[in-house]
Amino acid sequence: MKNLFLIMIALTTIASFGQKQKKQPKTKALKYPTTEKIPVTDDYFGVKVTDNYRWLEDDKSPKTMAWVKAQNVVTYGYLDQIPFRNSLKARVEKLWNYEKISAPFKEGNFTYFYKNNGLQNQSVLYRKDASGAEEIFLDPNTFSKDGTSSLGGVDFSKDGSKVAYGISVGGSDWRSVIIMDALSRKIIEDTIVDVKFSGISWKGNDGFYYSSYDKPEGSELSAKTDQHKLYFHKLGSKQKEDKVIYGLDEKRRYVSGAVSEDNKYLFISAANSTSGNELYMMDLSTKKPKLITIVTGFENDVDVIDNVGSKLYILTNLKAPNKRIVTATFKKPTPENWKDFIPETDQVLTPSIGSGYFFANYMKDAISNIKQYNYEGKLVREVELPGIGTAGGFNGKKEDKTLYYSFTNYTTPGTIYSFEPKAGTSAVYQKPVLDFDGNDYESKQVFYTSKDGTKIPMIITHKRGVELNGKNPTILYGYGGFNVSLTPAFSIPNAVWLENGGVYAVPNLRGGGEYGKAWHDAGTKMQKQNVFDDFIAAAEYLIAEKYTSSDFLAIRGGSNGGLLVGATMTQRPDLMKVALPAVGVLDMLRYHTFTAGAGWGYDYGTANDSEEMFNYIYKYSPVQNVKTGAKYPATLVTTGDHDDRVVPAHSFKFAAELQAKQTGTNPTLIRIDVNAGHGAGKSVAALIQESVDIMSFTLFNMGIKELPSLKK
| CA gap 418, 630 in Å, rounded | 55
Per DSSP bridges, beta strands 124-128 and 134-138 are antiparallel
How many Cα atoms occupy the beta-carbon half-sphere of 702 within 13 Å? Answer: 34
Determine the 3-state secondary structure of 693 from DSSP: helix
Query: How far is the CA of 366 from the CAs of 151, 350, 389, 460, in angstroms?
Result: 30, 12, 8, 13
Number of other residues whose CB lies within 10 A of the CB of residue 487: 21
Query: How far is the CA of 260 from the CAs of 282, 311, 417, 636, in angstroms?
Result: 10, 12, 27, 46
| CA gap 450, 221 in Å, rounded | 38
| CA gap 400, 406 in Å, rounded | 17
Catalytic one of 678, 683, 691, 696? 678
Q: Which long-range contacts (CB under 8 A, 24 or more apart) does 200-204 make?
A: 200/153, 200/155, 200/164, 200/166, 201/155, 201/257, 201/258, 201/259, 201/266, 202/155, 202/156, 202/157, 202/158, 202/162, 202/164, 202/259, 203/232, 203/259, 203/263, 203/266, 203/284, 204/157, 204/158, 204/263
Per the annotation, the verdict on 233 as an active-site residue is: no
| CA gap 331, 532 in Å, rounded | 47
Q: Which residues contact 355 (CB under 8 A, 6 or more apart)?
A: 396, 398, 400, 401, 402, 403, 421
Catalytic one of 559, 621, 691, 696? 559
Determine the 3-state secondary structure of 613 from DSSP: helix
Per the annotation, the verdict on 678 as an active-site residue is: yes
End-to-end CA distance of the chain: 38
Q: Phi then psi for 460, rounded to 5 degrees?
A: -115, 125
Torsion over CA: 211, 214, 220, 226 (sign): negative
- Looking at the annotation, which residues are catalytic? 559, 678
